[in-house]
Amino acid sequence: MSQTLSTRRNETAEWWRSAVVYQVYPRSFADSNGDGVGDVNGIRSKLPYLAALGIDAVWISPWYPSPMKDAGYDVSDYRDIEPIFGTLAEADAMVAEAHALGIKVIIDIVPNHTSDQHVLFQQALAAGPGSPERERFIFKPGRGPLGDEPPTDWQSAFGGTAWSRTTNPDGTPGDWYLRLFTPEQPDVNWEHPDIRAEFEQTLRFWFDRGVDGFRIDVAHGLVKDQSFPDEDGMPFPLPLGTAEEVNHPHWDQPRVHEIYRAWRKVADEYTPTRAFCGEIWVGRSDRLAAYLRPDELHTAFNFDFLMTPWLAAPMKAVIDETINSHAAVGAPPTWVLGNHDLCRPVSRYARPQELVQPLDRFLSHYLPHPADFASGLRRARAAALMMFGLPGGAYVYQGEELGLPEAEAIPFAALQDPLVVQSGGENLGRDGCRVPLPWTSAGETYGFSPEGAEQPWLPQPTAWADLAADTQDGQQGSTLEFYREALRVRGQRAELGDGAMTWITTPDDVLAYTRGEHFQCWVNFGDAPISLPEGEILVASGELTAAGLLPRDTTVWLAV
Ligand code: NOJ
């Protein structure tokens, strides 16, 4: 029955309005060939696991050829597969096998920047200053009498200036190029028709191979103010109340929307239409919703929800704000608790929630607050059940279904994230959520790699044996079985997914909502257990008290 309804939903043209999308971070998901890095055949081997989990789609972080200066977000060829990960034929087979199991496939496109090893950037460097090849990127002379100061004061998202200086063929210092992330990730020039054509061709390349959609990296960053003004300390996100005509010089520029209107036309050429999900950090629901107008992107990550502490009032406010802003443009909300850039929810929620506001998305797990990981796990499970019941779609980052915490004790020398180096070691980066998954409690790499393989590319914490998928499989009350149950029931209930919800009036520390006439979700954020209305418990994120009360940090779904 569950299979029937979720398959039906997944087969509709608007599957993306309700989908639960599972993020696969290929380096860390499953290693089939023993080189210590996950790969496409590893993903293929786990497709039955994903189907049994009950997800509707996978999103695969970049799998393209890459020098891996930013773990694959530095792409040197958008139309092939990185040899460490496998081959194009294996990727085609993966897509076909996923489809056969009723799973849609979303891949990741990185349109703000390429790798410095991309042929277009190599051509630009070789062709020299003033050449048409350089027009495809953002080259500028430096400031100051010697041109040795960056062209603007723009800052890299990873720290330091956002410009790198070139060397001329005669060895003298040359122009600078913009790179909002690492020096090896030059920003492309979206004013150039070749760039627009190049990326549209890439979309078609993968759509023609059967891929169902794209997650768009840094979707709000592509267009730059062509007068290249200094930032001059302008805050971003722009605070509410900022005049309409004020824009940050390189984030969320209004003309970025033109690009997505053109991409939507490409997606709509296909049957069923292909779908986009934007990674859009604009910090304001009105500016986010603008990307989701009917002729632009289908969905966007809801980072406001992810950043909200585990407290009833802010959670209620962010849910309302999300639903209202998305309804204004007819887009489905989405809900997300983690990804490969952010502290895992178990560890985020383990800290005192009043103290870590506003949550720093990179650093919250390194803040010097005491951590209570048992509470963190209870809250992460309660948050997951709360979000799976909300209108729209949801994301699960690999390992959330195992209740993995952030790996907080990776030795400094083993860290790989460029953010660590670029921030001068001030920021310990994102490796803690990227550690290879534990599949089995036994074995040197907990089943991530075959026995006798190379060491995994990041070390795994020893405590993970208890969290391994095979330890949790079939174990009543385990996080894995809880996720399976929640997604099974979500697939069965026609009132879940896209649609409306209504709040039930509750005490301050409790949130409760209805979906349709017969479904209720109750979440207790407070210390005191609360009584529940009459009804059948469909799923609970934790045990109820002996008296049948809903204890703190617990969510239930009720059929009433
Ligand atoms: C966002 C990606 O999620 C992150 O991993 C990457 O470092 C930056 N964009 C740059 O591509």
**Do 127 and 48 lie in a common domain?**
no
Residue 151: partners with Cβ closer than 8 Å, 6 or more residues away:
140, 141, 142, 143, 163, 176, 178, 228
**Do 172 and 197 lie in a common domain?**
no
pLDDT(315) > 70: yes
Distance CA 513, CA 79 (A): 45
Domain limits for position 8: 2-111+193-486
DSSP state of 74: S
Secondary structure of 116-141 as H, E, C letters: CCCHHHHHHHHHCCCCHHHHHECEEC
Please report the atom of ligand 1 found closest to the CA of residue 181: 10
Please report the atom of ligand 1 found closest to the CA of residue 113: 11
Q: Whose CA is nearest to atom 11 of ligand 1?
A: 73
**Do 318 and 219 lie in a common domain?**
yes
pLDDT(363) > 80: no
Prediction pTM value: 0.97
Rounded distance from Cα 23 to ligand 1 centre (Å): 14
* pLDDT above 90: percentage of residues in the chain: 87
Rounded distance from Cα 74 to ligand 1 centre (Å): 9
Q: Which of 188, 216, 218, 420 for a ligand 1 pocket mutation test, highest count of atoms within 8 Å of Cβ?
A: 218
**In the structure encoding, which two tokens stand for residue 303, read together?**
């980072």
Mean pLDDT of 127-141: 97
pLDDT(150) > 80: yes
Q: Which of 28, 66, 70 for a ligand 1 pocket mutation test, highest count of atoms within 8 Å of Cβ?
A: 70
Q: In what order do the strands lie in the sheet with 536-540?
A: 502-503, 510-515, 519-524, 554-559, 536-540
Distance CA 213, CA 139 (A): 32
Q: Which of 445, 461, 486 is the last residue of a domain?
A: 486
**In the structure encoding, which two tokens stand for residue 319, read together?**
């849910």
Q: Whose CA is nearest to atom 3 of ligand 1?
A: 341
Rounded distance from Cα 217 to ligand 1 centre (Å): 6
Rounded distance from Cα 331 to ligand 1 centre (Å): 24
Q: Is 424 left (phi over 0), alpha (psi -120 to 50) or beta?
A: left
**In the structure encoding, which two tokens stand for residue 332, read together?**
């489905």
pLDDT tens digits for range 425-449: 888 899 999 999 999 999 999 999 9
Examine residue 495 and state whether it is found in any structural domain, yes or no.
no
Residues 58/24, Cβ–Cβ less than 8 Å: yes
Q: Omega of the bond prior to 345 within 30 degrees of 0, cis?
A: no
Rounded distance from Cα 413 to ligand 1 centre (Å): 22
Q: Which of 128, 144, 178 is the last residue of a domain?
A: 178
pLDDT(7) > 60: no
**Do 99 and 211 lie in a common domain?**
yes
Please report the atom of ligand 1 found closest to the CA of residue 61: 3
Examine residue 321 and state whether it is found in any structural domain, yes or no.
yes
Residue given tokens 């200066």 in the structure block: 69
Mean pLDDT of 150-156: 97
Examine residue 435 and state whether it is found in any structural domain, yes or no.
yes
Q: Whose CA is nearest to atom 6 of ligand 1?
A: 73
Examine residue 143 and state whether it is found in any structural domain, yes or no.
yes
Q: Which of 69, 76, 217, 303 for a ligand 1 pocket mutation test, highest count of atoms within 8 Å of Cβ?
A: 217
Residue 70: partners with Cβ closer than 8 Å, 6 or more residues away:
181, 182, 184, 185, 418
**In the structure encoding, which two tokens stand for residue 448, read together?**
């991530």
Please report the atom of ligand 1 found closest to the CA of residue 418: 7
Q: How far apart are the first and last CA of the chain?
A: 20
Q: Omega of the bond prior to 237 within 30 degrees of 0, cis?
A: yes
Type of residue numbered 277: C
> What CATH number does the domain containing 127 carry?
3.90.400.10
Q: Which of 181, 216, 306 for a ligand 1 pocket mutation test, highest count of atoms within 8 Å of Cβ?
A: 181
Residue given tokens 């990730």 in the structure block: 185
pLDDT(130) > 80: yes
pLDDT of amino acid 3: 45
**Do 379 and 293 lie in a common domain?**
yes
pLDDT band at 103 (very low <50, low <70, confident <90, very high): very high
Catalytic residues: 217, 269
Examine residue 531 and state whether it is found in any structural domain, yes or no.
yes
Handedness of CA 25, 398, 272, 263 (dihedral sign): negative
pLDDT tens digits for range 64-101: 999 999 999 999 999 999 999 999 999 999 999 999 99
**Do 131 and 277 lie in a common domain?**
no
Tell me how many degrees the CA angle 457-459-460 measures, rounded to the nearest 5.
Answer: 120
Residues 486/496, Cβ–Cβ less than 8 Å: no
Distance CA 26, CA 33 (A): 13
Q: Whose CA is nearest to atom 5 of ligand 1?
A: 341
Rounded distance from Cα 73 to ligand 1 centre (Å): 6
**Do 139 and 232 lie in a common domain?**
no
Rounded distance from Cα 313 to ligand 1 centre (Å): 31
Distance CA 31, CA 450 (A): 7
Q: Is 491 helix (H, G, I), strand (E, B) or coil?
A: helix
Distance CA 56, CA 104 (A): 6
pLDDT(362) > 60: no
**In the structure encoding, which two tokens stand for residue 323, read together?**
């639903």
**Do 99 and 123 lie in a common domain?**
no
Smallest CA-to-CA distance from 282 within 266, 267, 270, 297 is with 297
Cβ count within 10 A of residue 156: 21
Q: Whose CA is nearest to atom 4 of ligand 1?
A: 341
Examine residue 496 and state whether it is found in any structural domain, yes or no.
no
Pocket of ligand 1 (CB under 6 A): 70, 73, 110, 181, 217-218, 279, 340-341
Domain count, the chain: 3
pLDDT(127) > 90: yes
Read out DSSP for 391-403? SSEEEEETTGGGT
> What CATH number does the domain containing 544 carry?
2.60.40.1180
**In the structure encoding, which two tokens stand for residue 123, read together?**
């051509």
**Do 93 and 123 lie in a common domain?**
no
Mean pLDDT of 315-331: 98
Largest CA distance in the chain: 81
Examine residue 493 and state whether it is found in any structural domain, yes or no.
no
Rounded distance from Cα 363 to ligand 1 centre (Å): 16
pLDDT of amino acid 354: 82
Examine residue 183 and state whether it is found in any structural domain, yes or no.
no
